[in-house]
Structure 1
Amino acid sequence: MMTTVLVTGASGFIGSHLVSRCLLEKYKVKVLIRKGNPTIDRFRKQGIEVIEGDIRNFEDVRRAVSGCNIVFHAAALTSDWGTMKDFNDINIGGTRNICEAVLECKTERLVYVSSFESFNHSELERIDERTAFSVKNHPYSDTKIGGTETVREYIAKGITASVVYPVWVYGPGDRTLFPIMADILRNSLFFYWKRHARMSMTYIDNLVDLLVLAATLPQAAGEEFLAFDGVDMTFEEFCERLARAVNANPPFIYLPYDLVYMLAGILETVYGILNMPKRPLLTRQAVNLLASRAVVDASKARRVLGWSPAVSQEEGFRRTLEWLKTIDPSEWNIK
């Protein structure tokens, strides 16, 4: 019998690569997509069953989950700017809907895509799957913690699920790290606040490999895994390589972290008072994320699942920069 999988967040970066991989695995693929999404026709032409609906609506979610063997829950509000209600409704409420539907439909396996942002990575310490969560009063990271705790709650109720915490995910199709930083380097006077901050990254194909293993191997059930390729790059090295690739100058100004964090807070306050939908140039979440000092230990995925990154950082960076050159620079600054 053919394995049927549901991918939420299928129009996003991680979800779209997951869909492609599931098709290669000869799975029957379903996606839950909001009405009017421009990817719907493309998915249908690929033979994918499209469920038009909203992750916040339980009936839509149950309809999508029904008949599936595996659910990959990658849908999330991932921005560092937005209302707390939207983050709660999508990242926590949507995850609860998925878990409840998985429980009701007796789905064999759920894989939840959480986030490395759930942990305190600003301190010089080792982080692994046993590290306690860190509430930062940032909507995205705090609601991803809430989503993960919801999955844990439903594991206790009897569902079979795994949680994966990706670090920075990059690769062709990236709509955050590479294009936004390229746009800033080309068009703004950027500066460092932690030039030696660790950029712990995982290439998209490597992450998808891990997600598939988490969905299919019996030893993954009930377990949590960090996804990290194992090679760090400093923020300074990242900016220098990206600047060279887009014919820009790397930052040369250094400002203290505390000052930049305070400025980001002021910008957030002003933008909030003015009800501006566009994100500020700096947010506290972005400043914190680009000040990571933690040492990531992702050995559990290697030890338990036999996972190893098939694409090296050098090759992944090369592929991503080649892809970035193929898209119109006007599309880099994607909100």
Structure 2
Amino acid sequence: MKQILITGSFGFLGSRLVLYYLKAGWKVRLFDLPNHALKEQLLTEFGQAGSYELFESDICDYDSVLSAVRGCQEVIHGAALLNSVAAYDHFHRINVQGTKTICDACVAEGVPHFTLISTSDVFGIPQQHQLLHEESPYRSWNEPYADTKILAANYVKALRAKGQLNASIVYPGWIYGEGDRQFFPAVMDMVRDGIVFTWHKSRASDIYFVHIDDLILGIDRVLHTSESSNRDYLLLDPTSGITPLTLYGIIADYLDIQIKHIHVPYPIMMLVALVTQSLARIGILSKPVLSSTDVKAFGNAFQFCTDRAANELDWMPSIPTREGILRALNWQTQQPSANPAS
């Protein structure tokens, strides 16, 4: 029976990975911060699926991380900071120093295989008509999340190049589905307000979704495919056909709400993001209207190629995006905290 460690175990992806491997009969170790808001609820779910070991500590605490990786055959590192208003130093500590800490512990303990959960954002905003794939160079967004994820991935690649760490890197697209407590709730709140915004520069681009269940199957293929060692994989739907406005329309139809669409010039929306992020950082606003990362992500046209995952992992998205969106909406509206349509 294999022993696996999953960091960020109480997050969206991490918690679903824990359940997946518990149900598959693996010995699962959890690693996350103490006092997580969802801890008790998730531990109850985990306990119903199997037995686990819980390690509660800071991902930069080397001794704690070393204890957690000891004896593991697989380590999936999903812990990361996504908060749009945190200072760069905080992003760097969690996303870069945290990754270095767990990688160094895996090297010290001789862990057979390490998987870094990165992001498709590391490839940057493409030039016109550029097709992004696993060998595309990393390019800065001048945003703390994407740029620290680049540094983290580069550290993994450096250890890999030296032969010190057998590591795979996974680049998901926009993760969505049942259990999402960030992306879909935010979009649904916008739709409930009755006014939706777009700000693309030249043309509306598809959102490069990956349903949580498809992503987990892709990660599992990485763990079970010997050829995936020291290889990287984009895991997303390159042909979702869902633009932001299409997504708003699906949600509005589901909630039976009439919406008004306003297209805002890209520079103006970026200014709104930068100003409200700054106000949120100093406490004047509880949260920004949206992040500058979101403005860039939904305002630029991206194209991705997932041929490597199809050819080497026999992986392609199996859940049609519209079906996945409806499943996600069903889950959201069944939650006790779901806001009624106003």
Q: TM-score, normalised by structure 1?
A: 0.92
- Which position in structure 1 is the counterpart of 2:307? 299
Moved more, 39-48 or 245-254: 39-48
Within 5 Å, which residues of 2 pair with 1:303-314? 303-314=311-322
1:239 touches 1:251 (CA, 8 Å); kept in 2? no
Q: Cα distance, 1:201 vs. partner?
A: 0.6
2:156 aligned with 1:151: yes
- Which position in structure 2 is the counterpart of 1:20? 19
- Which position in structure 1 is the counterpart of 2:79? 75
- Which position in structure 2 is the counterpart of 1:250? 259
Which amino acid is 1:47 matched to? S
| Alpha carbons of structure 1 residues 215 and 193: separation in structure 2 relative to 1, 3 Å | same
Partner of 1:185: helix, strand, or coil?
Answer: helix
Partner of 2:208: helix, strand, or coil?
Answer: strand
CA offsets per residue over residues 7-45 of structure 1, 9 Å max, x none? 001101111111111112211000012222342542456
Deviating beyond 4 angstroms after TM superposition, the runs of 4 or more aligned structure 1 residues are: 329-332
2:166 aligned with 1:160: yes
Which amino acid is 1:226 matched to? L
1:259 equivalent among 242, 245, 268: 268
Partner of 1:85: helix, strand, or coil?
Answer: helix
CA offsets per residue over residues 95-134 of structure 1, 9 Å max, x none? 0011001101101111110011112235442111111112
2:188 aligned with 1:182: yes
Q: What stretches of structure 1 of length at least 5 have no aligned partner? A: none
- Which position in structure 2 is the counterpart of 1:318? 326
Give the whole-Å Cα distance in 1 for the aligned partners of 2:96 and 2:8. 14
1:243 touches 1:249 (CA, 8 Å); kept in 2? yes
2:36 aligned with 1:30: no
Q: Cα distance, 1:330 vs. partner?
A: 4.7
Which amino acid is 1:54 matched to? D
Partner of 2:276: helix, strand, or coil?
Answer: helix
Q: Cα distance, 1:190 vs. partner?
A: 3.2
Give the whole-Å Cα distance in 1 for the aligned partners of 2:206 and 2:337. 27
Which amino acid is 1:181 matched to? V
2:332 touches 2:338 (CA, 8 Å); kept in 1? no
2:72 aligned with 1:64: no
Give the whole-Å Cα distance in 1 for the aligned partners of 2:260 and 2:248. 7
Give the whole-Å Cα distance in 2 for the aligned partners of 1:3 and 1:263. 49
Partner of 1:165: helix, strand, or coil?
Answer: strand
Partner of 2:207: helix, strand, or coil?
Answer: strand
Moved more, 322-331 or 236-245: 322-331
Which amino acid is 1:207 matched to? L
Give the whole-Å Cα distance in 1 for the aligned partners of 2:260 and 2:63. 49
Q: Cα distance, 1:6 vs. partner?
A: 0.4
Give the whole-Å Cα distance in 2 for the aligned partners of 1:305 and 1:271. 42
| Identical counterparts, % of pairs | 27
2:85 touches 2:280 (CA, 8 Å); kept in 1? no
- Which position in structure 2 is the counterpart of 1:286? 294
Moved more, 46-55 or 187-196: 187-196
Within 5 Å, which residues of 2 pair with 1:127-146? 127-146=132-151
- Which position in structure 2 is the counterpart of 1:5? 4
Q: What stretches of structure 2 of length at least 5 have no aligned partner? A: none
Q: TM-score, normalised by structure 2?
A: 0.91
Aligned residues: 330
- Which position in structure 1 is the counterpart of 2:278? 269
2:168 aligned with 1:169: no
Give the whole-Å Cα distance in 2 for the aligned partners of 1:296 and 1:264. 26
CA offsets per residue over residues 216-259 of structure 1, 9 Å max, x none? 21100111110112322111111111122223333411111122
Give the whole-Å Cα distance in 2 for the aligned partners of 1:90 and 1:33. 12
1:183 touches 1:329 (CA, 8 Å); kept in 2? no
- Which position in structure 2 is the counterpart of 1:205? 213
Give the whole-Å Cα distance in 2 for the aligned partners of 1:304 and 1:288. 31
- Which position in structure 1 is the counterpart of 2:97? 93
Q: Cα distance, 1:315 vs. partner?
A: 2.5
Backbone CA RMSD of aligned residues: 1.9
